[in-house]
Amino acid sequence: FSEMLSNPKLVLVQGALNVVMKQNVTLSCLSVSGSPPVRYTLFKHNQQVSALNRSDLTPALFTLTISSASDVGEYKCKAQYNISRGGKYSNSLNFTLIEPISKPVLSSPTSQAKKGQNVTLSCLSENGSLPITYLFFKGTQNISPQKTMQKREAAVIFLFIDSLSDFGTYKCKASNSFPNNTKYSNGFNFTLAEERSHSQPLIISLGLILLLLIIGFALAIPFFIIPLYKASE
């Protein structure tokens, strides 16, 4: 009767394919055609995980607990008659472990800026499942569209320092598919770069001239002033 068995269908009936540690998931395996009893076997990467016998046309339910990274990956089930060595295989379901993100770090190549200058801000979470979505703020105001990064690289925005109000506190936040997991970065402030005054070169020049006059006067004392003083005695 082996040829009468249809390929079983493997369905996720509890949980999600993106799983977190310690999460329970339940899989259902059923051949819709065939004559019971049927033996259903669950495999992960071709290694047997569990087996159940069904004496009627009800699905075999397999409950798994994701307790380590080795519990994720590709699962399949096989349906076969007890007296048969053959069997039919199902579709596969692939579980992916999602991890919480770490606190993002907000940084810039420069900490000083002046009005009229372009600057950049980078936000990066070193840990956590991809993709990661970033959002930038100044104070409590959102200043950019959200940026979703598929790779482990920083989200970057470009800013134009137009006025003194642009020197406030900036932050970013990061989130991924891990439930209830949003993290905010440190605060980052640009400081106003000191602009050189236009009068500085003139002051320096006048100082050098005065210094040269003092040195010249000191050098002239032995050669001119002292002889004149002696001649007048």
CATH number 2.60.40.10 given to 9-97: yes
pLDDT of res. 197: 47
Residues of the chain with CATH 2.60.40.10: 9-97, 105-192
pLDDT of res. 203: 61
Asked if the model's pLDDT at residue 231 lies above 90, the reply is no
- Mean pLDDT for the stretch of residues 96-113: 94
Each residue's pLDDT tens digit, 129-162: 999 999 999 999 999 999 999 999 999 999 999 8
* pLDDT band of 2, cuts 50, 70, 90: very low
The rounded percent of the chain whose pLDDT value lies above 90 is 65
The rounded percent of the chain whose pLDDT value lies above 70 is 88
Check residues 4 and 166 and name the one with the higher pLDDT.
Answer: 166
Q: Which residue has the tokens 């369905």?
A: 11
* pLDDT band of 86, cuts 50, 70, 90: confident
Pick the CATH number of 105-192 from 2.60.40.10, 3.40.30.10, 2.40.50.140, 3.40.50.1360: 2.60.40.10
* pLDDT band of 228, cuts 50, 70, 90: low
CA dist 203 and 199 (Å) reads 6
pLDDT of res. 35: 84
Taking the complete model, does pTM exceed 0.85, yes or no?
no
Asked if the model's pLDDT at residue 1 lies above 50, the reply is no
CA dist 127 and 192 (Å) reads 33
* Listed range (35-39, 40-44, 154-158) with the worst mean pLDDT: 35-39
Rounded alpha-carbon distances, angstroms, from residue 159 to 113, 123, 127: 11, 14, 26
